[in-house]
Chains A and B, each alone.
Chain A
């Protein structure tokens, strides 16, 4: 009975603490859970689904270190195999096109373009924390979610006017994000499913990005997830991108 009372008071205290969290603190916790591992690697099966339900498949490898280094390399299908994307600090991004045997620095105009036919744009692929890029405002809190409105920070450019983020109240994992275009229309919805704890970290095994304008969906299914394997900095270099 004494333990039950203790547990209830702990939950009550925690709830009060969370209830008092500011939007900035919540977004910081979202970053902490999203970018908790020192580094991560996974294989991603990508399914593209058009408005008629027809599917196309891709496969990619993803390496991430800290909050601002990311490398993505496509391994399937054959016509895009070898295409790579490297995101580095200070908004430096490169794409490698094997047909030309060259990598090219990406100018910011391309950020609103879809990456390799998916519903993720180059901007969506950037390795930036939410706090670095977005100014948060807490809209509401319900039983399951903190609902945040995110607008681009001063000095940061984005193709979106705002994001509405649904972060889980129990672990701050961003379960759903709505993307609004410059005209203020809802254009894309990101939904994360099968949010599981792998080792010490939360991760969504399935992620879906739906483009409402095209009625097109991209599903990511993660496999072979590895955390904190001390990925070398050499992985996040042009040298490795071009190999």
Chain B
């Protein structure tokens, strides 16, 4: 009994000690977008981001939580009106929750355990080497966002070198774009598979470590001939599924699918990136060489005794890469341009498209106003066919910080496209948006 009291006392004292060091922060953000074509709401998100951090001598505890409401209700029948969870659904996500131990067991070895974001790569938001955390494509305009993963990360520092190893024991798939935005992935999941009239079934990997885990290794050097450099390796499953069996019927002379089976293929990814300075211009390059397993799509036609198989993902490597530069002109205009070969959902050499992403901005009024006057992207598959297959996005935006911690952002996205391009499918989704963010 006495021992229990002592333990309780120690626990309370520890809790008080930790709570005295607790730093709470975060932000609240409202994000509203309206389609220009029919004046309907295309996105409505209210987010509370809460971070908590406790730092003791060599140990840091960190957590980040999102509490969100998407404006619209989930009410479908009258009984749903009795339940607040349907009327005004609130979505709670643990983005990160980890313990970070410095000099774990030996000097210069850091251990990070728990739900964490492991951001690899040096390019801006478009990172072919950032393959450990699942992609979070919920908001397609916030590309580059990832979910946290329950992982163990060890980092060892020696001189200018950093060695990192990561182990993620369980598999988590990517989050796909919310609502009808998912149609930009039509080609990846088999035409029609994302529509409700076709039954889809996703085969999750066995929960064994062999089938579901992912691991990564990285070596970074701070300075090689004036460039920061890293080399990485990741082994695990792709977080976006691919179809392997389609069933359907022949009707009126054409194949009509009624079910699609999908799974998450295994792949190895060798990555490297570098960043530095050439004659005052910031430059970076990043590449991921993907070695996928072969995927054969089996098509079963129920009313005709025909079964056909075709390879939809060859067992050959393909490379997604980014080349980018940034520069600040004497008049204060900041330019950032990136060329990307292969968006994060594209697989196979013949399926990789090209993207040029650009942003030119200038700040005014002592940095209180930022005007992104030339911002957007251009997508094409082949240079010689660019007239018939392209998408152009123009995204001017103005941000205003009237006081510390408060930011208003207003902008417009105008999309023009032709042919079968990822963003060309969104050409009817021109929109205007307003974002308000207050940090605390």
Contacts and interface: CB of A to CB of B under 8 A. Distances in A.
Interface residues of A, number: 31
A214 B328 CA distance: 18
Nearest to B228: A105
A21 interface: no
Contacts of B222: 92, 238
B364 to A, nearest CB: 10
Contacts, number: 77
Interface in B259-284: 275-277, 280-283
Nearest to A90: B223
Interface residues of B, number: 37
The secondary-structure label for the interface of chain B is: strand
A48 B222 CA distance: 34
Interface string B92-132: 00000000101000000010000001010010000000000
A15 B356 CA distance: 65
Contacts of B401: 79
Contacts of B27: 78-79
B117 to A, nearest CB: 6
B350 interface: no
Contact of A107 (B25, B281, B332, B407): B281
Contacts of B228: 105
A146 to B, nearest CB: 32
A105 B277 contact: yes
Contacts of A114: 367
A219 B274 CA distance: 37
Interface in B58-72: 60
Identify which of B162, B282, B404, B440 gathers the most chain A CB atoms within 10 Å of its CB: B404
Nearest to B440: A78
B276 A107 contact: yes
B303 interface: no
Contact of B60 (A48, A107, A157, A243): A243
A110 B366 contact: no
Interface in A49-108: 50, 56-57, 77-79, 81, 90, 92, 100-102, 104-108
Given A57-B404, A78-B25, A109 B276 contact: no
Contacts of B281: 107, 109
A117 B277 contact: no
Identify which of B25, B60, B110, B366 gathers the most chain A CB atoms within 10 Å of its CB: B366
Given A79-B404, A117-B367, A239-B155, 18 more contacts: A50-B366, A56-B403, A56-B404, A77-B404, A77-B439, A78-B25, A78-B405, A78-B440, A79-B407, A81-B439, A105-B275, A107-B280, A107-B281, A109-B326, A109-B328, A113-B332, A214-B366, A243-B60
Interface of B: 25, 27, 60, 100, 102, 110, 117, 119, 122, 155, 157, 162, 222-223, 228, 275-277, 280-283, 326-328, 330, 332, 334, 366-367, 401, 403-405, 407, 439-440
17 contacts: A56-B404, A77-B404, A77-B405, A79-B27, A79-B404, A79-B405, A92-B222, A101-B119, A105-B275, A105-B276, A109-B277, A112-B328, A112-B330, A113-B334, A117-B366, A216-B366, A237-B157
